[in-house]
Amino acid sequence: MKRGPLLNLPDALSLSRIVLAAGFVAVPEAAARVALIGAASATDFLDGWIARRRGVASRWGALIDPLTDRVFVLAAVASFVWRGELTPGQFLTLVSRDLATAVGFAVARSVPWLRRVPFQARPLGKVVTALQLVTLLAVLLAPPAVRPLVLAVGVLSAAAVVDYTLTLWRGRTR
């Protein structure tokens, strides 16, 4: 990854998810919330695509992209719990991968022999993020689908945590 300006278009797209998260919490209408989930999904796709296409991928972007994904999902899921549309157990299931990877990141950065291992997105983690967004849409558009989707997020989150852990463990010897 190259060094470039502090903020470029892909980074601005990533950071826009913080504004979208605030909008999601503030707006009660289902149609507006669906649009905000769509916008968050679009920016999540476009930020990486543009960064790779233009050759402006950066460490800063690699850090803020997953962080802003987490902010949006956390705000949306917490909003649904607050409004009684999801249970606290569903909340924990939906954010379990995010909590586990946050702890994993902190551990990896505090243990000297793990510090040099890059902590980056993995394909299974991207699937979990996409399924989280689909679950958010289901809360608004297809409530009967929420329970099986939350279960799927939970199972895939556990698999993603194992995948991240194994990747980190293998990377320590490089």
Instruction: Give residue-wise pLDDT tens across range 74-83.
Output: 999 999 999 9
Is position 1 within any domain?
Answer: no
Number of structural domains found in the chain = 1
CB 119 within 8 A of CB 97: no
* pTM value > 0.95: no
Is position 105 within any domain?
Answer: yes
CA 36/CA 99 separation, integer angstroms: 23
pLDDT digits (tens, 9 = 90+) for 105-138: 787 778 877 777 776 778 898 899 999 999 999 9
In which domain, by residue range, is 30 found?
A: 9-171
pLDDT digits (tens, 9 = 90+) for 36-75: 999 999 999 999 899 889 988 887 888 888 889 999 999 9
Q: For position 137, what pLDDT does the model report?
A: 98
Q: For position 72, what pLDDT does the model report?
A: 96
Is position 37 within any domain?
Answer: yes
Is position 14 within any domain?
Answer: yes
Q: Who contacts 5 (Cβ-Cβ below 8 Å, separation ≥6)? A: none
Q: Which residue has the tokens 């586990």?
A: 100
Is position 118 within any domain?
Answer: yes
Q: For position 6, what pLDDT does the model report?
A: 59
What 111-117 contacts at long range (C-beta under 8 Å, 24+ apart), as own/partner pairs, is: 113/172, 114/168, 114/172, 117/168, 117/171, 117/172, 117/174
pLDDT greater than 60 at residue 4 = no
Is position 101 within any domain?
Answer: yes
pLDDT digits (tens, 9 = 90+) for 155-170: 999 999 999 888 887 8
Q: For position 174, what pLDDT does the model report?
A: 61
Q: For position 120, what pLDDT does the model report?
A: 73
Is position 3 within any domain?
Answer: no
Is position 2 within any domain?
Answer: no
Return the sign of the alpha-carbon dihedral for residues 48, 165, 78, 91: positive
CATH of the domain at 37: 1.20.120.1760
Count, residues in the chain = 174
Q: Could you tell me the maximum CA-CA distance found in the chain, to the nearest angstrom?
A: 51
